[in-house]
Amino acid sequence: MDLLRNKFSNSIQEDLPEGHFSRFEAKLNSKLHSSSEKKTLYISIYAIAAVFIAALLLSFLYQKPDTKTINVLILAQESSELIETEKYFQYQIQEKLNQIDALVDKIEQKKIKKDLLGFDSELDNLKEDYKQAPGDQRVVNAVINTYMMKIEAIDNIINIVHKYI
């Protein structure tokens, strides 16, 4: 600012109101200061967002399937169509269980899941049967029917819960 003051002659400075340069310098410093604060704020926000996104991506990469709700594929040695069918049934069951979780409290969720354990034990028995007789179409049909009955039972539970809500 001293350079600017020296360049102007006394006549120009006399035309300006008193304290003009000090006010100008104060405004200039405040704008520069707030601009650097904004940059720091934005950098902090971007850094937090980057860490959050990285953590989210890593959690998806290293996410393990929930072994309590998704059974090991029974038909893993069969054709890809049957494997996809089994995955589809497991996905549908999980989605419907998530619907139930959203509708009822924890105590009721435990009761419902306890009631559905019969289907899981039946699937475990069918898995053992399939190990003894791989490729047996009756066992494959029984697996598919068990999944369908479990989905139907969950649908009935959802309908009953909807009636009482």
The ranges assigned to domains in the chain are 2-61, 80-164
Nearest partner of 76 among 66, 86, 65, 67, judged by Cα = 86
pLDDT, tens only, 118-132: 998 998 898 888 888
Quick check: pTM over 0.85?
no
Residues 90 and 150: their CA atoms lie apart, in Å, by 10
Residue with tokens 């410093």: 29
The DSSP code sequence of 93-134 is HHHHHHHHHHHS-HHHHHHHHHHTHHHHHHHHHHHHHHHHST
Residue with tokens 């598919």: 144
pLDDT, tens only, 26-78: 777 765 556 667 778 778 888 888 888 887 777 766 665 454 444 556 666 66
Under the banding of pLDDT at 50, 70 and 90, the label for residue 145 is very high
Query: For residue 70, what are the CA distances in angstroms to 1, 77, 95, 110, 154?
Result: 72, 18, 11, 16, 15
Residue with tokens 């139930």: 100
pLDDT, tens only, 10-30: 555 556 677 777 777 777 776
Say if residues 61 and 118 touch (Cβ distance below 8 Å): no
